[in-house]
Structures are given as structure tokens and as C-alpha cells.
Amino acid sequence: MILHYDTPPAGTVRDWLDARAQQNAIAFQFPVTKQVLTWVELRDHAARIAGHLTAQGIAKGESVACMNPNSLEGVLSLYGALYGGFRATMINLVAGAEAISYALEHSEAAHAFVHPDAQDLFTKVTKPNQITQVDLNGTDTATLHGLSAQDSALLMYTSGTTGRPKGVVHSHASLLAGGWTTTIAHDLTVADCGLCVLPIYHINGLCVSLMGALVSGGSVAMVPKFSASQFWAQAAETSASWFSVVPTIISHLLHGGEAPTQQVRTRLRFGRSASSALAPDVQTAFETRFEVPIVETMGLTETAAQILSNPLPPGVRKFGSPGIPFGNEACIMSADLRPLGPETEGEICVRGPNVMREYLKNPEATAGTFTPDGWLRTGDLGRMDVDGYLFVTGRLKELIIKGGENIAPREIDEALYSHADVIEAAAFARPCKSYGERVEAAVKIKDGSAVTAAELVAICCEKIGTFKAPDVVYVLEDLPKGPSGKIQRLKIADLTTPA
């Protein structure tokens, strides 16, 4: 097949993997284990695994659970399931036993790939004989199922911070489109190598890094997990030309003692930030110290990751904005679903080839997420400037409503991040008899810092006013985070005692 980049990807993951196998180049390298996988080897392994799955009598589109950390086995499991036409069901290994058990049961997965490191967890969250483990090295085979672009490919569960996790279903078409939006936004080519430190059971790691490489023809350097002390050395060892991380990682690198060599700085075209808002002060400090440009983006599980991105340098990057649409459309809508003009706050909505098919077995939630004309409601509040750049002002579910006035937590976060010793920050609401809700916040500060909670409150009062400033700031060892490293602000109130 001919691989085009100016239009959304046609065909299936199987088609694209077959095509990539024609260029016998490196697809993956694993610097910690010193393993290397070419596109030909990946395709051959995927085809063998797909045949083995088919021989077990698994129907096309049936869920096959993947319980793997970042690893060679994780990559082979994912591509084997996709190549065979099964619904790769990515299990978040740090979601907790209850959430994992729910995902396995809700997905109706009867077969699972289980990494040795996840074996104890698998035993804990499943009943005897509930799920059959699949031998990754199985060799029995059968004729593969026929595939089309609209067939189910991926099932990934949301974090479920406000209720039961929802199962997001992507087709081969939308999954590939997720890699395509990354490719066109960042000008990825066969010469690029992306350093993957985010888990592939999260949409960022899977679509941005893995699908981005499949569509662009580049390669992935994958490590088991992020390490601030090893990050720059791993970038050097693998000749990485870009990386995708989250704001907490950027902040930890900024406050760490390690720094990239001049050779690494020169080779790295950009770093990519996603999953939550990046404070402009942190971005400025990072770029000043390391001389590596950061491109802020935005994506969702429901959109196979990216929906917005700032252009690469020398294009205009607007700090504090996740950018403009690439490969899809975005708009701001009112509460009654009318498009709004520039500089007017409303809900960010998106439409394009990377949007999910549905929430599994949840037609009510699916219907409520889409407008009648096909826009997906993100649940994020924002505004669009006259140049088409979007600015996220908050989550509908995370807004702090104090005395009837809406306060966006991000505004408070950024005030806290303006202090150089703040590594992590998140504002949140606490029920209050006087105002309905009051503003509180939690931070992680640099070791040895002398800054006090009272001083941080004073900084917020100066920057955003007393009404919006937190009544109290808690200093914690770490803030609660999801699998991608995104701070889960709705959980902080449960971890702190009201002052």
C-alpha cells in the first residue's frame, strides 16, 4: 500500500505494519534490556501471535487483555492482538485492584497476555479459570480474520475519577489517525526516534509514541518507566530526536541535578508536553536551562490522544495554550451547544477521524458525549483567540464554585508554580458553609527549600487576588497521579485534613 501523510491513514494496523516491514529498519529499541526490534521482526512476531490467538477460537473484535509494563513483551502483545483483528484491551497496571477487576469483567476478556512482572497482580484481580493466559511464544496457527478500517481495534478505560471507568473503543481508522495527528503536527519522519517513558497502557504512550512511529516510519526508544536521573543519558544512548512527557516530568527534570550534553541538546528537535496544563513559568525555566523547546499539546483517550498542538519552532508557540488543531477540528460551544466566537469561554469540542467509536456497553454516555452534528464534548472549558489558539481554563468537573463565582484551578496552579521551588501544584475545592466551596491547594516543594505554605498563599494573593487565592496550602511528599503522571486533583481533598 502507498503511505500518505496529507490525508488520514487508510486501511488497518495490519496493512501499515505489512508496509513498514518492507523497509527493514529499526522499529523499537529497549536501552535498559539492550533489545532491538526491526519492523520486519515486529511484523513477523505479530503475524505469528495473531495466528496463535485465532487458533484459540477467539472471535474478531473480541477483547484480549494486555497486562504489560513498557517492554518488548508489551509491544508484541499489542501488535499481535491488533494484527489479528482482536480488540486490544489495555489494562492500567497501577489503577488499583478494583478498577482492574472491573475492566477485565466489563470488557468480557476471556484471554490475556500477562507479563511476568504483572503475574501476581493478575492472580489477585481474577477468579480461578476466569481468564486464560495466552502464550506469547505460541506457534499453532489459523487463517486470520478479515479486517476493515472500521473494525474495533483498541479498548482503553478512562481513569474513572468521578465514577466507574468508561471503556473507550477505537477502530483501526481512529487509532491510526491518532498517530497521524502526531506525525503531521510534529513533522515526524523515518529519521526520528521518540523516547517513550510514558506507559503504553495510557493513550499518550500508545498513540503518540507507538502509532506515531507506525505512521511516520520512525522508531521508538522505550524504557520501563521515567527516571529523572537516567532520562538525559537514555536520550543520548538512543539518539532520540524528540520525547513525549507530562508537565510533572518536565518539572522534575527542571529541578533535577542532571542535564543533557550539548550533543543531546542539538539532536533533540523538541519535547512534547501533554495530559494536563503546562505552567508558562515552568516551560520558560526548562527551555532556558536545557535549550530544548517544549511544544505544549492536548489530547484525550476519546480522541486517540492529540487534538491540539503548538507548531514546532520557528512557528508561533503561545505559552499557556495547547495550540491549534492538527488533523481535526476544534471549537468552543455554549451550554446549549452553540458555537461561540473568539475570546468567549465555553466547552471545548472536537471532531475528526481520530475520535472514538463509542463507550463500550454504555450508549447513554456515548450519546451524551456527542452533539447531534458529531462534535465530541471534551468536558474542558476554554476559549479560542483570534488566531485560532485554544486556551484551557478548566475542567467542568473540577471548577471551584466559591460564592457563586467560577474559579479555574489552573489559574491558582500557575501562581504557585511561579515560585522556583514548587515542583508539583494543584488547587482543589473543599466544601464550605459560607461560600459553598472554598479554595485549597497542595504542593510538592524542592528538597531543602525554605518556602512556607503561608508564603505561597501570599504569592497567590498578589498574583490572582485574595478571593481566588487558596485559604490553605498543604505541603505533601507527592501529589496523587494517574498512570501518565497527570495530577489527580479530585483525590487531594481525601488525602488532606481540613485546616
Sole residue written with cell 505512521: 215
Sole residue written with cell 502509532: 211
Q: What share of the chain is helix, strand, coil (3-state, %, to 5)?
A: 30, 25, 40
The total of other beta-carbon atoms located within 10 Å of residue 378's CB is 23
What is the distance, to the nearest Å, from the Cα of residue 112 to the centroid of all Cα atoms in its chain?
23
pLDDT digits (tens, 9 = 90+) for 185-200: 999 999 999 999 999 9
Q: Is 499 exposed, middle or buried (0-12, 13-18, 19+ CB in 10 A)?
A: exposed
pLDDT bin (cut points 50, 70, 90) of residue 2 is very low
Q: Which amino acid is at 312?
A: L
List, in sequence order, the alpha helices (H) in 343-452. 363-369, 409-417
Interatomic CA distance for residues 447 and 422, integer angstroms: 10
Residues forming a β-bridge with 330: 350
pLDDT digits (tens, 9 = 90+) for 461-490: 999 889 899 999 999 999 998 877 889 888
With residue 391 as reference, give the H or E element that holds it. Answer: strand 390-395
Q: Is 333 exposed, middle or buried (0-12, 13-18, 19+ CB in 10 A)?
A: middle
Sole residue written with cell 457563586: 404
pLDDT digits (tens, 9 = 90+) for 422-446: 999 999 999 887 778 899 999 999 9
Distances (CA, A) of 176 to 76, 144, 151: 17, 20, 12
Per-residue pLDDT at 5 = 66
pLDDT digits (tens, 9 = 90+) for 319-343: 999 999 999 999 999 999 999 999 9
Characterize 415-449 residue by residue with b for buried, 16 or more Cβ atoms within 10 angstroms of its Cβ, and e for exposed.
Answer: bbbbbeebbbbbbbbbeeeebebbbbbbbbbeeee
Interatomic CA distance for residues 141 and 274, integer angstroms: 40
In the structure, how many helices (H) and strands (E) does the chain have? 16, 25
In the predicted model, what is the mean pLDDT of the chain?
Answer: 94
Sole residue written with cell 497501577: 94
Using a cut of 0.75, tell me whether the model's pTM lies above it.
Answer: yes
Interatomic CA distance for residues 139 and 119, integer angstroms: 22
Local structure of residue 42 (DSSP, 8 states)? H
Q: Which residues contact 327 (CB under 8 A, 6 or more apart)?
A: 8, 177, 180, 181, 184, 185, 306, 352, 353, 354
Residues forming a β-bridge with 270: 242
Per-residue pLDDT at 235 = 98
Interatomic CA distance for residues 174 and 306, integer angstroms: 11
Q: Is the pLDDT of residue 54 over 90?
A: yes
DSSP string of 437-491, one letter each residue: EEEEEEEEE-TT----HHHHHHHHHHHH-TTTS-SEEEE-S---B-TTS-B-GGG
The domains of the chain, with CATH numbers, are 1-397 (3.40.50.12780), 400-495 (3.30.300.30)
CB 323 within 8 A of CB 297: yes
Distances (CA, A) of 317 to 297, 322, 332: 11, 9, 20
